[in-house]
């Protein structure tokens, strides 16, 4: 539906980037993104509309990211984006662009306009307390949930 990589590839690629950054002493970041109130879209407009929203959000993410960035569908309405050679400032710039573009987009389905927003958690290899790829993922996921808990349609990185 989305054209994004699947979770299994994400898990492999996250480990690959982790090992590469440990060797090179470079940096990389991770964004975890979730479509806000996606269940309401499915319940109100149907699953075909939900599929269309998923596909278009994936396209927006792709347009906002660089070709070297790795966009994966992590689960349901959740995406993970690996940003090689990107510090937290760069990751936040990418996240702001994605969040704004999704918010500004009108999704048209069967003559109806549907609007969605996204919540994003951002973490980087250089974050305190990140000693493994799993900890980086956990930190980005924790920040995503904090974004959702504090009002949605926002980005949290600490």
Q: Report the catalytic residues.
A: 77
- CA–CA dist 145, 21 (Å, integer): 26
Q: How far is CA 80 from the centre of its chain?
A: 4
Residues 6+ apart with CB under 8 A from 109: 45, 48, 49, 52, 53
For 24, the 3-state DSSP assignment is: helix
- The alpha-helical segments, DSSP class H, found in 46-152 are 47-64, 88-104, 133-149
Look up tokens 């994605």; give the residue. 98
Look up tokens 């989305």; give the residue. 2
- CA–CA dist 103, 98 (Å, integer): 9
The DSSP bridge partners found for residue 155 are 120
């Amino acid at each position: 539906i989305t054209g994004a990589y699947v979770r299994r590839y994400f898990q492999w690629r996250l480990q690959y980037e982790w090992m590469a950054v440990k060797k090179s002493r470079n940096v990389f970041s991770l964004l975890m993104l979730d479509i806000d109130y996606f269940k309401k879209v499915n319940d109100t407009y149907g699953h075909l509309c939900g599929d269309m929203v998923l596909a278009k959000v994936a396209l927006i993410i792709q347009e906002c990211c660089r070709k070297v960035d790795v966009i994966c569908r992590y689960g349901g309405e959740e995406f993970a984006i690996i940003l090689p050679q990107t510090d937290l400032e760069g990751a936040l710039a990418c996240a702001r662009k994605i969040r704004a573009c999704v918010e500004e987009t009108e999704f048209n389905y069967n003559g109806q306009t549907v609007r969605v927003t996204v919540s994003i958690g951002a973490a980087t290899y250089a974050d305190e307390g990140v000693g493994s790829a799993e900890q980086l993922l956990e930190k980005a996921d924790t920040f995503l949930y904090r974004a959702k808990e504090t009002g949605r349609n926002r980005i949290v990185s600490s």
